[in-house]
Amino acid sequence: MDYDVELRFQKVKTELEKKFGEGMDVQAILFLIGVNELGMGYKEFSKQEKTDVLHIAICTLLEPYGYYKFDKHDNEGWPHFNLVQELPPLNDREQQHLIKEAMISYFEENDYFNVEEASN
């Protein structure tokens, strides 16, 4: 794992833990991003909806990399994406690196906080 990406990710995690409590991991952050992108606020999600929320987060994070493209919102307000190109074969470490890098970009580009200025 690239040391810089891991340091910056830890800053993202620290900032999120200040707002949402201890114990944030990649899965929890993906869920937060998915709920944010869904735009419906907090609600009880079924098991399938939780999976769909994680899918929304993955698509949102990988859209700037050219892997997905937003298509539309359905009648219930859920966003849908089209696969533009398959991800190359990645091992677990490479997947984690890509997702963490994409998360850092997501929080910076949406002006939630500046990772470089975030305190530990």
Task: Evaluate whether residue 31 is within a structural domain.
Answer: yes
**pTM of the shown model:** 0.88
> What is the pLDDT, as a whole number, of residue 118?
60
Task: Evaluate whether residue 39 is within a structural domain.
Answer: yes
The four Cα atoms 84, 89, 91, 96 give a dihedral, to 10 degrees, of: -10
The four Cα atoms 30, 32, 35, 38 give a dihedral, to 10 degrees, of: -60
| Residue ranges, the chain, pLDDT below 50 | 120
Question: Domain count of the chain?
Answer: 1
Angstrom distance (rounded) from CA 32 to CA 38:
10
> What is the pLDDT, as a whole number, of residue 1?
52
Task: Evaluate whether residue 27 is within a structural domain.
Answer: yes
Q: Which domain holds residue 78?
A: 3-109
**CA within 13 Å, CB half, 105:** 13
Q: What is the pLDDT of residues 62-96, one digit of tens each?
A: 999 999 999 999 999 999 999 999 999 999 999 99
Strand partners, 79: 73
> What is the pLDDT, as a whole number, of residue 43?
85
